Chains A and B, each alone.
Chain A
Amino acid sequence: MIRLALKGVRRSFGPVEVLHGVDLELHEGEVHALIGENGAGKSTTMKILSGYLNPTVGEVLVDGKPVTFGASSEAEDAGIIMIHQEFNLASQLTVEQNIFLGREKRKGMFLDHKTMREETLALLKRLHCKARPDAKVRDISVPDRQMVEIAKALSRNARVLIMDEPTAVLTDRETEVLFEQVERLKAEGVAILYTSHKLGEVRRLADRITVLRDGTQVHSATRGMTEDQMATAMVGRDVSDLYPPKLPCGDQVVLEADVTVPGHVKQAKLTLRKGEVLGLAGLVGAGRTELMEGIAGLRDRTGTVRVNGTEIRANDPKAAMAAGLAYLTEDRKECGLLLNFPLRENLTLLALDKFSKGLIDGKAEEAALTKAISEFDIRVPHRKVRAGNLSGGNQQKLLLAKTMLANPKIVVIDEPTRGIDIGTKQQIYQFIQKLAAEGLSVVVISSELPEVIGLCDRVIVMHAGHVAGEVSGTDVNEQTIVRLAMGLEEAA
């Protein structure tokens, strides 16, 4: 039974057509994976499925009948619910208020708090989520927010669930919980559309797979594609050598830190050498980001940080920057880029001093943009485009370009490839090795172990706010790192 389908769907934005004829069927009780590189048209397809956009040409069919949704709420009424990657939760409201937002239970004129609380507790229990119903969403962890989104969808009797990279922010364990839920929803007959850049997940979960490349459907299959086949179909070329070869690094220590970040990290020690790519692994919430933000002056810290032997003042991002230490955030949208600004202003914001002697030199800025676009292979429709309209991969490249413009000597990259397609991933890995080869030092914070193992010669593993251990050489393997990250053993 086909719940929701697209038939010959094309979509244009202005004169540019971004989807060139997509056919897609979501069957009852099946997981349909939609994969493709950033900018391949996945988001547009999902938005059309969930009523945020209408097709320019072609049809959307619900239970076999053509429909035109005026708004996403009409799609929701038809039981089609999308869970956004960036979440659609009111952060000041509680978990319970969010779950029932817009459909509050009433008893006469008043809210029926008792029923809502009972249903919330039941939903959270079903999802193995430990968040309290009366906790404000801004106070709960990212994975818990994901669960709240799913709870919200469940409470709306979802018949079709559209999940946009649900595991991007989850740890392996949380991912397992999510998969159990997906399996259970399947058994209940829900049709699920699932997108992910983690191809292993897709292989494991999907009953059907559709691959998009540049807005065109290049492959459709039921189960049975290997990860290599998927990657090749997405990129259109072979991507077996994902990681460039590791290079040896020198002995010169460029960064020494012994830092406590109140509430997050206790006395973490870290050294970094010239030309090194150091990994920082650990579970989400282990304090990796907080440690590096503390070192970069973006967060309160105590202790000492020395760059090339000179101590760097706490709470002073500018001083860290001046010493050559740059931190590239994991949160592109909230901390990295000004989404409603064009490329040029974003590119030069960090290094604006270089472009301004009293007045800003617009020509020099334009030249820098031209250089960045070619050097970092930022793919843009035109130069005036706003950063928010770029795909995740291109945003990440822009953020890299922006950081490198300040000529840092030490670059901390937090989750360098989160939400990024495999082709761009490869480019970013090569770029990181190139930096190291040029004598820069790089710290890679990553939740993706293959990435840490593929890139780094030495890995510091954090667990619950402290350094659980350091591994190097042949010890850089999945088993050792996981044991440390889980707190199962303390390295000597």
Chain B
Amino acid sequence: MKNINLHAIGPVAALVVLILVGVGLNENFLSYANITNVLARSAFIGIIAVGMTFVITAGGLDLSVGSMAAFVAGVMIIAMNYLVPTMGAGMGTVLVGMLVALATGLFGGAVNGLLITRARIEAFIVTLGTMGIYRSLITWLADGGTLSLDSGVREAYRPVYYDGILGITWPIIVFAVVAILGEIAMRHTAFGRHCAAIGSNEQVARYSAVDVIRVKTMTYVLLGILVGVATIMYVPRLGSASASTGVLWELEAIASVIIGGTMLKGGFGRVWGTVVGVLILGLIGNLLNLTDLVSPYLNGAIQGIIIILAVVLQREGKAER
């Protein structure tokens, strides 16, 4: 039992150590401004990673989320710019844009899910394919450059990233809400239980009258919708989309899920762990920027080491049981 607990608190312990190191290196680390900055920047990956937790728990994988986010951002911007002449540059246009983003994300997720479940193609192959397709589509839509949001709409949309309530900005609030709902869905609903059952052994799930195809498809649809949500929070930050939007987001999201203790081969997932994983990755990048101990250019290398370390620690925890 001790070992199981150790396994469970591993990521939390790592996060605490990271925060202590950060405080030791830079007194501004725990400042209000810095913390909200890290959280806001982590929110996009975080929202996507919550969805990814369900996909991975059910034994799947989605490599396309980064490109999909870029594509959703592009479609959303084009839609809003198109509406400016008729609807004006107000909140109405922004709301329609948000709906377009959610619908595009849902559609993208459904395409992935149906190709994987109905056409029975490996998740890795399908999403590797759609990853390339979306990346190419956004490059084409932006004609190799940048798609910019109409400046009037940008003004109306701006508060969604920069404002908030009680000094907490909207991206952080949305991330928190998504995480809490995700945690409840994973642990306390039939959907979450079915995801874990399918990831553990698809045959057993099928023989237990679980609608395997529907549940698996739903994980990708859910992830697609959350990509839409993340994009909605992301677009007002820069007000543009280009071929370099969302690059490597999929790897950061997958890494967060794995660091958080969800098993890559499926069968066990925890959303709170994913949140901890997101924070760990976010804080490392932040710490490297704040201190000159290690070059920020080595951020990727340090993240890589953390990912490998996390998996090694998990494996040892398992072997001892």
Chain A contacts to B: CB under 8 angstroms: 298, 317-318, 320-321, 327, 329, 334-341, 345, 349-350, 352-353, 356, 358-360, 362, 402, 406
Hey, which chain B residues are within 8 Å of A336, CB to CB?
204, 207
Evaluate contact between A338 and B200: CB separation under 8 angstroms. Answer: yes
Distance in Å: Cβ of A123 to nearest Cβ of chain B: 32
Evaluate contact between A341 and B206: CB separation under 8 angstroms. Answer: no
Evaluate contact between B211 and A360: CB separation under 8 angstroms. Answer: no
Proximity string of chain B (170-210) to chain A, C-beta cutoff 8 Å, 1 when within and 0 when not: 00000000000000100011100110110011011111111
A352 to B196, CA, bound (A): 13
A356 to B189, CA, bound (A): 7
Hey, which chain A residues are within 8 Å of B203, CB to CB?
334-335
Given A334-B201, A360-B190; A340-B208 close (CB under 8 Å): no
Evaluate contact between A341 and B200: CB separation under 8 angstroms. Answer: yes
B267 interface residue (CB < 8 Å to A):
yes
Hey, which chain A residues are within 8 Å of B197, CB to CB?
338, 341, 345, 349
A336 to B205, CA, bound (A): 8
Main secondary structure of the interface of A (DSSP, over half): mixed
Chain A CB within 10 A, most for which of B188, B190, B194, B204: B204
Chain A CB within 10 A, most for which of B184, B190, B267: B190
Evaluate contact between A360 and B193: CB separation under 8 angstroms. Answer: yes
Contact of B204 among A335, A352, A360, A406 (CB under 8 A): A335
**A-B contacts besides A335-B207, A338-B197, A345-B193, 5 pairs, CB < 8 Å:** A329-B207, A349-B193, A356-B190, A360-B190, A362-B188
Hey, which chain B residues are within 8 Å of A321, CB to CB?
209
A298 to B205, CA, bound (A): 11
Hey, which chain B residues are within 8 Å of A337, CB to CB?
204
Proximity string of chain B (148-161) to chain A, C-beta cutoff 8 Å, 1 when within and 0 when not: 00000000000000
Hey, which chain A residues are within 8 Å of B196, CB to CB?
341, 345
A43 to B201, CA, bound (A): 24
A318 to B210, CA, bound (A): 7
Main secondary structure of the interface of B (DSSP, over half): helix
Hey, which chain A residues are within 8 Å of B184, CB to CB?
359
Given A338-B200, A341-B200, A349-B197; A298-B190 close (CB under 8 Å): no
21 contacts between A and B (CB under 8 A): A318-B211, A321-B209, A327-B207, A335-B206, A336-B207, A338-B197, A338-B201, A338-B204, A340-B267, A341-B197, A341-B200, A349-B208, A349-B210, A350-B208, A352-B194, A359-B184, A359-B189, A360-B188, A360-B190, A362-B188, A402-B208
Hey, which chain A residues are within 8 Å of B206, CB to CB?
298, 317, 335
Evaluate contact between B201 and A339: CB separation under 8 angstroms. Answer: yes
Hey, which chain B residues are within 8 Å of A349, CB to CB?
193, 197, 204-205, 208, 210
A337 to B201, CA, bound (A): 9
Distance in Å: Cβ of A312 to nearest Cβ of chain B: 13
Hey, which chain B residues are within 8 Å of A352, CB to CB?
190, 193-194
Q: Chain A: which residue is nearest B1 at the CB level?
A: A384
Proximity string of chain B (37-48) to chain A, C-beta cutoff 8 Å, 1 when within and 0 when not: 000000000000
Chain A CB within 10 A, most for which of B197, B207, B209: B209
Distance in Å: Cβ of B272 to nearest Cβ of chain A: 17
A-B complex: 7 closest residue pairs judged by Cβ atoms: A321-B209, A349-B208, A359-B188, A350-B208, A335-B207, A356-B190, A338-B200
A320 to B206, CA, bound (A): 13
Chain B CB within 10 A, most for which of A353, A358, A360, A406: A360
Distance in Å: Cβ of B32 to nearest Cβ of chain A: 35
Hey, which chain B residues are within 8 Å of A362, CB to CB?
188
A321 to B210, CA, bound (A): 11
A317 to B212, CA, bound (A): 11
Hey, which chain B residues are within 8 Å of A353, CB to CB?
190
A142 to B73, CA, bound (A): 54
Contact of A317 among B190, B209, B268 (CB under 8 A): B209
Hey, which chain B residues are within 8 Å of A335, CB to CB?
203-204, 206-207
A298 to B188, CA, bound (A): 28
Q: Chain A: which residue is nearest B212 at the CB level?
A: A317
Hey, which chain B residues are within 8 Å of A320, CB to CB?
209
Hey, which chain B residues are within 8 Å of A350, CB to CB?
208-209
Proximity string of chain B (227-242) to chain A, C-beta cutoff 8 Å, 1 when within and 0 when not: 0000000000000000
